Amino acid sequence: MNSAVDDIKSRINIVDLVGEYVKLQKAGANWKACCPFHNEKSPSFMVNEEKQIFHCFGCGKGGDMFTFLMEIESLEFREALKILAEKSGVQLENFNPEAQKGKNRVLEALEWATKFWEKQLWEGSGKDKILKYLSERGLTSDSIRQFRIGYAPEGWNNLFNFLLQKGFAVEDILGAGLIIDKEIGANRYYDRFRDRIMFPIEDAMGKVIGFSARVAPGGDESQAKYINTPETTVYHKSKVLYGISKAKQAIKEKDFVLLVEGNMDVIAAHQAGLRNTVAASGTALTVEQLAILRRYTNSKNIKMLFDMDSAGQNAAKKSLELYLLNFFGSGIIPSVVFLENGKDAADAVKDDPASLLRAVENSQSALDYFWRQLLKKYDQKNPQQKNQIIQEWTEIVSHIPNDSPINSAEKVAWSKKLAHEMEVEEKLILDVVKRQSSTKSPKKDDFERTEEVLRFAKKTDLLLDKIAGLLLTDQQLWRDASEREDVRRIASENRFLNLIVSQGSKVNFSLSNLVSRVDRSAGERLEKMSLEAGFNFDHGQISEIDKQEVRRNLETYLSNYQKELQKEKLRVIIKDIKKAEESGDRESLKVLMEEFSRMSQEVK
């Protein structure tokens, strides 16, 4: 793995890679740009070509080309590794070639299926009926082609026979979710999608990984209106957003994402100029999908435009609760886009595209929106309906976690507002919220939890982190330190230092190799520790810390760690001395005072 990573870095210039996403300008020994990870007007994002690293002085993000691609495309390390390997022509080792070959064949089958259905729409049996329907829904030919909409004709084995002729094995076609196996009979396999309008679902890199299929107008209405590809090796619906490949750049540029309900809504919104629009693909919004969106819109600014019927509004409410429970406090609260006359996005674009743009511009905070909707929905003078308002609003507010003073204050503020509006005691509302909150638990990822712990860490823990970061800056230093008894003795006291010391020889003392063995959150933390320990970031310039200075810093941190450790022990002894004095235990007091005197001298 190490040689592959090094080969990739030797063949790809980070300046060229970053330049595919942002416009870089030369600035002395570095290149600068406005940061793609947060909204800013003046450039604070720097790329150092000599060291092949990047760093933003505004948001603090930094690392190498792998870190950059993982961050900007929301990828795992191995995904970034594969993409850069393909880009550089490097052959990866240490992976299952058969599994990868099977996955590639599945992707190829999906691509050919897309082409087959596109041809059926433009030149085959869908040419008249389906194109006319799409046109009546307000979609232009350009939009239909851009999103590669197709038509699966009637018949049981049109696609199956086509793919067989293209040389695909039954296992490939079945693995792509394109056919169904009856498991009996001579004709045991048949097409999953028949007489349906086909919407290809792409991953963030633009590869077709599945389909959403709408029943054709005049088709069999007894079947589900929409059916999706089942879970496959390449399609995981909880992690997919329809339109993300075409929307991701616009999301970054506009710094917000418009989240709509259906495929037609996405295409219509893009057609109206809102290219930063996506939809949850055939599923209720998930934590994984929200996490993806938060990476593309740095202010966490999500505008929700769901259908105005009860089902759509309930979906919007559930999405808000999901956000509150998992991401509240990390940025702007999602807002809701309200369309008059119960229209959806597709209808609005068809009738009056400007109305959709105005509605998006005038979106309201989701909490404010649902608060007003509740007050409109129920009669506050009716005791039963008054109770309904209290029940539904406390249910929403209870999703705000009590994991910070700000969050708790927000929850209390909304509870007081409800109490005032309903003319009931605040304590009553707060008690209801407290009971409901106890049944919910936020699901923050490991990286966020790690960052929170660091804010309240002891000084000894912070010093151990600094020591760990220093070892990652120099392979020889890492190798030497791993053999030192004093370092090995304290390594078990810190998760990252223990990982670095214990795994050093196994990964050939390579940071890239180590990162490839851990989960993404840990990998990001390791890269950040290395960057902070090995480089100075001053006045927009990036400079590497001299190796001798790094070694001196290591000795200083080791010495300071021992002193802080003794101070912590002293604080414990002081507490024990107070207890001994209060209880009148003279014998224990004498021993503790002697120990205190000895340790004080050691600290000095």
Contact between 242 and 259 (Cβ < 8 Å): no
Residue 37 has what pLDDT?
A: 83
Contact between 442 and 326 (Cβ < 8 Å): yes
DSSP string, 9-54: HHHS-HHHHHHTTS--EEETTEEEE--TTS--SS--EEEETTTTEE
Residue 268 lies in a domain: no
- Residue 8 in this model has a pLDDT that exceeds 80: yes
- Residue 332 in this model has a pLDDT that exceeds 80: no
Q: What is the mean pLDDT of the chain?
A: 84
| 12 & 64 share domain | yes
| 199 & 139 share domain | yes
Contact between 239 and 208 (Cβ < 8 Å): no
Q: pLDDT tens, 78-126? A: 788 888 988 888 877 655 566 667 788 999 999 999 999 999 999 999 9
Greatest Cα pair distance, the chain, in angstroms, is 99
| 107 & 203 share domain | yes
Q: pLDDT tens, 362-405? A: 999 888 999 998 999 998 888 889 889 998 998 888 888 876 67
- Residue 234 in this model has a pLDDT that exceeds 80: yes
- Location of structure tokens 């205190």: 596
- Residue 299 in this model has a pLDDT that exceeds 80: no
pLDDT band at 189; cut points 50, 70, 90? very high
Question: What domain range is 387 assigned to?
Answer: 378-437
Residue 244 lies in a domain: no
| 55 & 132 share domain | no
Task: Compute CA distances 202 → 24, 206, 241, whole Å.
Answer: 29, 5, 8
pLDDT band at 175; cut points 50, 70, 90? very high
- Residue 599 in this model has a pLDDT that exceeds 90: no
Mean pLDDT of 528-557: 77
Residue 537 has what pLDDT?
A: 62
| 64 & 105 share domain | no
Residue 294 lies in a domain: no
| 493 & 528 share domain | yes
Residue 266 has what pLDDT?
A: 95
Q: How many domains does the chain fold into?
A: 4
- Residue 451 in this model has a pLDDT that exceeds 70: no
Residue 303 lies in a domain: no
| 127 & 159 share domain | yes
CA–CA gap between residue 310 and residue 584 (Å, rounded):
71
Which of the listed residues 437, 457, 475 is the one where a domain comes to its end? Answer: 437
| Nearest partner of 433 among 398, 485, 468, judged by Cα | 398
Percent of the chain clearing pLDDT 90 (strictly above): 31
Mean pLDDT of 403-430: 82
Residue 95 has what pLDDT?
A: 55
Q: What CATH number is attached to the domain comprising 45?
A: 3.90.580.10
Highest mean pLDDT among 214-223, 309-318, 358-367, 585-594: 358-367
| 469 & 430 share domain | no
Which of the listed residues 62, 88, 114 is the one where a domain comes to its end? Answer: 88
Residue 60 lies in a domain: yes
| 410 & 497 share domain | no
Residue 295 has what pLDDT?
A: 67
| 470 & 421 share domain | no
Residue 492 lies in a domain: yes
Residue 41 lies in a domain: yes
- Degrees to nearest 5, angle at CA 437 with 407 and 427: 80
Q: pLDDT tens, 422-443? A: 888 888 888 888 887 766 654 4
Span of 69-83, 374-388, 448-462 with lowest mean pLDDT: 448-462
Q: What CATH number is attached to the domain comprising 217?
A: 3.90.980.10
Q: pLDDT tens, 37-55? A: 887 778 889 898 877 889 8
Contacts of residue 333, Cβ cutoff 8 Å, sequence gap at least 6: 323, 324, 365, 366, 367
pLDDT band at 528; cut points 50, 70, 90? confident
Structure tokens that stand for 361 in this block: 């511009």
| Nearest partner of 211 among 347, 79, 111, judged by Cα | 111
Residue 443 has what pLDDT?
A: 43
- Location of structure tokens 């498991």: 183
| 432 & 462 share domain | no
CA–CA gap between residue 511 and residue 456 (Å, rounded):
27
pLDDT band at 453; cut points 50, 70, 90? very low
Count of beta carbons in the 10 Å neighbourhood of residue 426: 14
Structure tokens that stand for 585 in this block: 């235990």
Which of the listed residues 203, 235, 267 is the one where a domain comes to its end? Answer: 235
| 536 & 467 share domain | yes
Contacts of residue 342, Cβ cutoff 8 Å, sequence gap at least 6: 307, 308, 309
- Residue 448 in this model has a pLDDT that exceeds 50: no
Residue 299 lies in a domain: no
